């Protein structure tokens, strides 16, 4: 049996170095501490603004314009913050990843259930990330294989330094490109009166109410915001970074900042394509980079190009975070070294999972005749349908004083967490009812 103890010791050495930097900064001032702790929350939220998410938001804006979905997107990111704040507490207190805690607390059966759920949805989602990369590159006339190679290349470059800190900063630099949707939204000149009315009054679900087609888009927009991989990634990143309970305030701020920026970008994507709705264009004819092409007459070629870059970037950054979530989870369960502070030689299984799942997803997208557009919204819907069990595990863990001690949920936090799980379950039930009974209108 392979002796992993030297590699595990090196994992801990990397985390100790990060901890020493934080403790030294704590004597200087809070801003330096926040800068060092900043990362997991920003990455998980902006990473969730991935290619299928931005395409779902684009389809929403083109089909419905500013209305019901603007405040709904803000609500979903508030729900995401409730869930992700728990992972900060779990990781910093237990110093264990999410998969490890599930196996430890609930046993192998439920551990295998959670892992199967995670790995399948992660792989399907990674396929859609490459769909976004191919779509964005297609606006500039680049062939699909170039986009896939670029995605694989970024994943390879990000791990070259064998330090979590360096990987995180590379990923953050890529994630901030997600903000390009904001100037695109401004350039498309949305009807600001309608935007304000939508945000302040929350208009009813349009065009047919909660029918099957509208619920599919509703679930896709929820899946654009809160999915299982986020729980595994942020808790794994918090653990790999070596955060402790002393860092909880900064960890929450990091997560809140990420949720706020990601919500602004999601709203911007809806506003950017709402110009298509305003001009009465049929949104069903648009998919992937065609949204960018359709924006040229209204926002200009430069802004349309930024939109296409944003779609490709969303896929790139999500491929980094989602593959890491899978690698963390597999390492936690098998006991193999699983840290970005280690080299490939020291943690071969970790990097085989991290890079292998990305390479396989990219290869699937290059298959002749692969249905690029049709898979995007479906994957977001699947992600939502798998969330209720994930929320249940999360709430059970954070209420277990043997795991989190005094950092357990308060009654108010439990109400918020149960409400998130309840809303996700309700959305899934409504979707199932309309799928079984297509003529049903709710």
pLDDT at 316 over 70: yes
Q: Is there a contact between 329 and 97 (Cβ–Cβ < 8 Å)? A: yes
* pLDDT higher at 429 or 306: 306
The arithmetic mean of pLDDT across residues 382-411, rounded, is 88
Which of 55-69, 72-86, 171-185, 404-418 is least confident? 55-69
Q: How much of the chain is in helix, strand and coil states, percent to nearest 5?
A: 80, 0, 20
pLDDT category of residue 286 using cuts at 50, 70 and 90 = very low
pLDDT at 243 over 90: no
Q: Is there a contact between 418 and 395 (Cβ–Cβ < 8 Å)? A: yes
What is residue 374's predicted lDDT score, i.e. its pLDDT?
65
pLDDT, tens only, 259-284? 999 999 999 999 998 888 776 665 44
Q: Is there a contact between 155 and 320 (Cβ–Cβ < 8 Å)? A: yes
What is residue 211's predicted lDDT score, i.e. its pLDDT?
65
**Which pair of tokens denotes residue 95?**
């110093």
pLDDT category of residue 29 using cuts at 50, 70 and 90 = low
pLDDT at 229 over 80: yes
Q: Which residues contact residue 80 at a Cβ distance below 8 angstroms, ignoring those fewer than 6 apart?
A: 45, 48, 225, 226, 230, 259, 262
The arithmetic mean of pLDDT across residues 164-187, rounded, is 86
Domains of the chain as residue ranges with CATH: 5-436 (1.20.1740)
Residue 57 to residue 78: CA distance in whole angstroms: 17
The arithmetic mean of pLDDT across residues 21-36, rounded, is 73
Mean pLDDT for the chain? 82
Question: How many Cβ atoms from other residues are within 10 Å of residue 279's Cβ?
Answer: 10
What is residue 16's predicted lDDT score, i.e. its pLDDT?
65
pLDDT at 203 over 80: no
pLDDT category of residue 427 using cuts at 50, 70 and 90 = confident
pLDDT category of residue 363 using cuts at 50, 70 and 90 = very high
Q: Name which of 174, 178, 200, 203 is nearest 266 in CA terms.
A: 178
């Amino acid at each position: 049996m392979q002796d992993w103890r030297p590699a595990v010791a090196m994992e801990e050495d990397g985390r100790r170095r990060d901890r020493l930097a934080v403790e030294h900064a704590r004597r200087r001032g809070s801003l330096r501490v926040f800068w060092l702790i900043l990362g997991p929350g920003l990455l998980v939220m902006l990473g969730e603004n991935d290619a299928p998410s931005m395409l779902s938001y684009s389809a929403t804006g083109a089909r419905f314009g500013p209305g019901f979905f603007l405040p709904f997107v803000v609500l979903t990111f508030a729900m995401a913050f409730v869930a992700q704040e728990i992972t900060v507490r779990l990781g910093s207190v237990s110093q264990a990843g999410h998969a490890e805690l599930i196996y430890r607390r609930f046993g192998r059966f439920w551990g295998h259930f959670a892992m199967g759920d995670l790995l399948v949805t992660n792989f399907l989602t990674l396929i859609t990330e490459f769909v976004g990369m191919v779509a964005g590159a297609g606006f500039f006339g680049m062939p699909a294989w170039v986009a896939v190679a670029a995605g694989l290349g970024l994943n390879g470059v990000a791990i070259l330094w064998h330090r979590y800190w360096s990987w995180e900063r590379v990923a953050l630099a890529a994630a901030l490109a997600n903000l390009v949707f904001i100037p695109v939204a401004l350039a498309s000149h949305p009807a600001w009166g309608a935007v304000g009315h939508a945000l302040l009054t929350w208009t009813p679900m349009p065009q047919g109410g909660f029918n099957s087609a509208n619920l599919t888009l509703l679930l896709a927009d929820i899946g654009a915001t809160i999915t299982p991989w986020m729980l595994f990634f942020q808790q794994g990143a918090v653990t790999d970074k070596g955060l402790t309970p002393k860092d909880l305030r900064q960890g929450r701020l990091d997560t809140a900042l990420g949720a706020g920026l990601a919500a602004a970008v999601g709203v911007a994507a809806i506003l950017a394509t709402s110009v298509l709705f305003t001009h009465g264009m049929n949104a069903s004819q648009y998919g992937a980079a065609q949204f960018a092409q359709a924006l040229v007459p209204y926002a200009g070629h430069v802004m349309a190009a930024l939109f296409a870059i944003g779609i490709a970037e969303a896929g790139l950054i999500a491929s980094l975070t989602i593959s890491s979530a899978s690698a963390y989870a597999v390492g936690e369960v098998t006991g193999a070294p699983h840290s970005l502070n280690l080299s490939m030689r020291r943690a071969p299984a970790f990097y085989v999972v991290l890079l292998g799942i990305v390479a396989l997803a990219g290869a699937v997208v290059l298959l002749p005749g692969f249905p690029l557009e049709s898979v995007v919204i479906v994957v977001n819907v699947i992600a939502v349908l798998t969330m209720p069990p994930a929320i249940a595990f999360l709430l059970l863990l954070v209420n277990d004083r043997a795991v989190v001690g005094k950092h357990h949920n308060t009654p108010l936090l439990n109400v918020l967490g149960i409400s998130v799980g309840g809303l996700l379950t309700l959305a899934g039930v409504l979707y199932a009812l309309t799928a079984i009974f297509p003529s049903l209108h709710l």
